[in-house]
Structure 1
Amino acid sequence: MPRRPRVLDLFCCSGGAGMGYHRAGFDVTGVDIRPRPRYPFRFIEGDALDAMREMCQDHDLVHASPPCQAHTALTKGTNAGRSYIDLIPQMRDLCRWYGVPWVMENVSGSTLRKDLTLCGEMFGLGVIRHRHFEIEWWGGEPVQIPHPKHRGPVRGWRHGVWREGPYIAAYGKGGGKGNVAEMQQAMDITWTDVHEELTEAIPPAYTEYIGREFLKDWGSAFRPGYVPEPMPVAA
């Protein structure tokens, strides 16, 4: 039997990205500097950059979600003046040095090259959560999904005005932001109920789409005739 493709999920947190790759057909190994007992796949506690050096060439794809705090709007506003590490340049250099196919994910405002932008509305989710992806693998990159018009605002208080909308704010607390149960439902993440892990997660739908796009090229290169089942995408 041909083996399943393997993905190394760096800075994995609770496994939002890892679950998407699993659903796309990958075997997943996650690495995080902190214990993540709810991570649903093989997990290694340790430094992601060290794991990259030691393990990346044993995997078919590397996914990295470096800390985003240096680039968020909150850091540039409410938390202005605080210092946060930016690991994107180091991660990019390592990926290119080792020559592995890779995907790197981060927030708007980051220094990523924006090869692909995904939004919860593209998948019919209850969050907007725009994320950008820098991607390098053979055969090109995922096709950009058209960005549908948002159906309304994010629910909650903003500038003293309450807005009712179809999306929840999956970050922070109070002010109408989503609670744990709402974040779980909105992002399709059921295996963790830790608030901090949910606020940092990306919906699995994002990486399921990316993973399926990767497997089209991986299959043509290593498994002739391999065609992954298509993933439903919201109109």
Structure 2
Amino acid sequence: MNRPKALDLFACEGGATVGYQRAGYDVYAVDMDHSRLKRNPAEHKLVGDALKVLDDLYVMGRVFFDDGSSLELTDIDLIHMSPPCQAFTRGNAGRETSWPKLIEPCREKAAMLDLPYVIENVKDAGPEMVDPVGLCGCMFGLSTIDTDGVRIHLQRLRLFETNWNLQPPRPCDHSTHEWVAGAYGGARRDKYEAKYVRKGGYVPREKAVVKRLLGIEHDVTWNGAFECIPPAYAEWVGLNARVQLIKEAA
């Protein structure tokens, strides 16, 4: 039986890729940054422009990858897109910056392909998104032990826009968690709370702790950890999409 195929655009170092693999997909990953894409565990990779890939699928019906493989439009079961979030991060949201805002172009191009799609971004990108669903570490029980033996729980909200009825596994609730942490690069550099206070913006000092907190096992850089989707989030989205496919087939 053929495995479903997911096209992971803006794939970076592979947090979402791993999640979709866990959900049973063959993942085809695309990113413009070769140094980051090489850490991505997808079998098929393409160093290239995600929006051009969507255009090529619409015009030619296929995309060729760097290993010589190709992906036909008719074989794709899910398109995942994580366009750059920097224009929507705290301090930039609502302001004009040099960072591109690609959520709307992604939606328009993906909609033309008439396939199930996902657009993922940070909380402050919400006004640019259509009925997004929030996923957080508490919904998946993501936690780990910090360097001093204290258990910390992942508080990392990400928004997911889909063109099917995605539902979260349960409400976001940290009321029973004494200590929470995230993984945010900018906060770690200049905020006392991010370095020492185990509340929302706290970032563990060691990358190994951050990886365990995010549920990441493969090799990533610090920036890769700061920017990635925890695999559990993408796994949940991928499994929901597969249920949707089964319902449509029935």
TM exceeds 0.5? yes
Q: Superposed, which structure 2 residues align to 1:153-168 within 5 Å?
A: 153-154=179-180, 158=192, 162-164=196-198, 168=202
- Cross-structure match for 1:50: 52
Give the distance between the partners of 2:135 and 2:167, measured in 1 at CA.
11
User: Of 60, 68, 73, which residue of structure 1 is paired with 2:85?
Assistant: 68
TM-score between the two structures when normalised by the length of structure 1 = 0.80
Give the distance between the partners of 2:167 and 2:207, measured in 1 at CA: 31
Does 2:197 correspond to 1:196? Answer: no
- In structure 2, the residue matched to 1:206 is 233
Instruction: Structure 1 unaligned segments of length 5 or more: list them.
Output: 170-176, 225-235
SS, match of residue 109 in structure 1: helix
Shift of 1:161: 9.3
Q: Mapping of 1:1-235 within 5 angstroms?
A: 2-35=1-34, 36-41=37-42, 42-55=44-57, 57=73, 58-76=75-93, 82-110=97-125, 111-126=128-143, 127-137=154-164, 140-143=165-168, 145-150=170-175, 151-154=177-180, 158=192, 162-164=196-198, 168-169=202-203, 177-222=204-249
**Contact 2:122/2:158 (<8 A) preserved:** yes
* Counterpart contact for 1:116–1:144, Cα < 8 Å: no
CA contact (8 A) 1:113 1:133 kept: no
Structure 2 equivalent of residue 227 of structure 1:
none
1:29-81 superposed Cα distances (whole Å, 9 cap, x missing partner):
0000011211101211100011122247241110000000000004359xx76
Aligned-pair CA distance for 1:152: 3.3
- Other-structure match for 2:68: none
1:14 CA drift (Å): 0.7
Please report the TM-score for the alignment, with normalisation by the length of structure 2. 0.76
- After TM superposition, where is structure 1 displaced by more than 6 Å over at least 4 residues in a row? none
Same amino acid, percent of matched pairs:
33
Let me know the Cα RMSD of the aligned residues: 2.6
Q: Secondary structure at the match of 1:190?
A: coil
Counterpart of 2:49, as a letter, is D
If each structure's helix is expressed as a fraction of its own residues, which one has the higher value? Answer: 2
Cα shift readout 1:123-148 (whole Å, capped 9, x = no counterpart): 111321100011003xx333562212
Letter in 2 for 1:64: M
Moved more, 149-158 or 32-41: 149-158
Residues paired across the two proteins, number: 211
Partner residue of 2:69?
none
Conserved 8 A contact 1:102-1:136: yes
Q: Using the alignment, how far apart are the partners of 2:89 and 2:24 within structure 1? A: 31
State the alpha-carbon separation in 1 of the partners of residues 20 and 171 from structure 2. Answer: 21
Q: CA deviation at 1:160?
A: 9.7
Cα pair 1:10 1:64 within 8 Å, conserved: yes
